[in-house]
Amino acid sequence: MKSETHNWTEEPRIAVGLLQNASSVTIGLLDDFLDSSGLRFPAGEYHLDFGRGEITGPAGRSRLDQEWQLRPGSDRGRFSLQATIGINFHWQQNEMQTFPEGLRILAPGGGRGTVINDVSLERYLQSVICSEMNADSPAELIKAHSIISRSWLLAQLDPAPVAGPPAPGLADGEIVRWTDREAHATFDVCADDHCQRYQGLGRIGNESMLGQVGATRGQVLSFAGRVCDARFSKCCGGVTEDFRLAWGDQEVPYLVPVFDGPGSLPDPPLQDQAALRRFIENPPDCYCHCQDQELLAILLNSYDRQTPDFFRWQRRVSAEQIGAWVREKLGRDLGRILALQAVERGLSGRLQRLRFVGQKASLVVGKELEIRRVLAASHLYSSAFVIDQEGPAERPETFVLTGAGWGHGVGLCQIGAGVMAHKGMVHQDILAHYYPGTQLERLYD
């Protein structure tokens, strides 16, 4: 699957992991499928039990091989399964999804298995765009998102690594973690927010959207002769963030902070706590500060509209609860939490390192996703927040986190880009805004 960048002379096929570490799964074949030997599997329901190594289908029970590969018998071939979206995030839910093209099952033993969809890149993108954003979004947003989703994917297939090793620990103890695509060993990308959302055919809403994706066929963003690792998040909160804050400590020149509007970055920088507080409490006019509910209904799918406070938000968490989350999620007993101290912020105000001060010990935690994971039952919306406390100063009872944005904030701000498109800006201008110094090019027809 991997190739040198800019050697993509034709559309590649990719392997998308739909389910991982499953003990069993029921798959509906909506048409006849064929295995690698040409044996026909008729339409119907197939239950795979990875513990027993068995398939139960319309023709009865059979043995499940370590790899079971099927292709549709016609262009109409589809298969369906129950999938979980938003895994470990606050919008997690289950839904039935339908997928085109190839189906592959890996059952290496140990009672667990993986379900993979082998699919052409452009077909994959049709679903990604309508899973990340609403299919009725403005045309220029769909074009921009098609280009960055294609770019991101091809960059992941590039053999050159983007993320570096974790940063060294501090003297008083530090946990620095981040998760990137290298976590996937048996397929190219997963189908959820860890990579980019791929929720099957059900959200592909109209022919106009398909035409807009098709108009960008083969197009990518490039920088210095390489396909861009074009990251994106739901809402930057007013300023996008540097790649290094969320992932490896490597400089990525086109993934740098920009103000999400026509102006420049805030001065003084939001790394200053007082400046960040003013920015959160009195936000400037920026693209992602969208309060137009009709426009948001056009831009966002239903599960994203369940998060109405994406731009500014507040959470109150008890000291006991934070201490419990640190024990549960990090395996460290710090005792009662006495203080949360910002150690390092990026230019969007997002925390890269946060110190948890406890009665027994202190611990510095990073990067941004790990901070968000430790401070919520699932994940905090973002790490761009200021910290207040209630109760005695030396023994607070509650920490009040007042924050901005939803997601890591690196690269394109999806809601901001949608507002730009709604205002009449073309996709070239949207991409130039969020990925400075990049170029558009077409790799294949």
User: What is the tens place of the pLDDT at every residue in 279-305?
Assistant: 999 999 999 999 999 999 999 999 899
* Residue burial 25-42, b: 16+ Cβ < 10 Å; e: rest: bebebeebbeeeeeeebe
Q: What are phi and psi of 247, to 5 degrees?
A: -130, -135
Q: Is residue 168 pLDDT above 70, yes or no? A: no
Residue 330 is encoded by which pair of tokens?
């990090």
C-alpha–C-alpha distance, residues 121 and 102, integer Å: 13
101 contacts 120 by C-beta, under 8 angstroms = yes
80 contacts 72 by C-beta, under 8 angstroms = no
Q: Is residue 443 pLDDT above 90, yes or no? A: yes
Confidence of residue 170 (pLDDT cuts 50, 70, 90): very low
Average pLDDT over residues 49-75: 93
C-alpha–C-alpha distance, residues 39 and 44, integer Å: 15
Q: What are phi and psi of 342, to 5 degrees?
A: -65, 125
Q: Is residue 247 pLDDT above 60, yes or no? A: yes
> What pLDDT sits at residue 172?
55
Residue 23: how many other CB atoms lie within 10 Å? 11
Of the candidates 398, 320, 401, 318, the one whose C-alpha atom is nearest the C-alpha of residue 359 is: 320
E-assigned strand segments in 36-77: 40-41, 44-49, 54-57, 60-63, 67-72
Return the bridge partners of 118, or none: 15, 102
Average pLDDT over residues 41-57: 95
CA distances from 395 to 252, 316, 399, 401, 426 (A): 42, 16, 11, 17, 53
CA dihedral sign of residues 334, 339, 343, 344: positive
Residue 369 is encoded by which pair of tokens?
């996703």
Q: Is residue 161 pLDDT above 60, yes or no? A: no
> What pLDDT sits at residue 9?
87
Q: What torsion do the CA atoms of 324, 326, 331, 334 make, to the nearest 10 degrees?
A: -90
> What pLDDT sits at residue 4?
39
Confidence of residue 387 (pLDDT cuts 50, 70, 90): very high
Q: Is residue 171 pLDDT above 70, yes or no? A: no
Q: Is residue 28 pLDDT above 70, yes or no? A: yes
Of the candidates 203, 33, 165, the one whose C-alpha atom is nearest the C-alpha of residue 104 is: 33
Structure-model confidence comparison of residues 157 and 151, the more confident one: 151
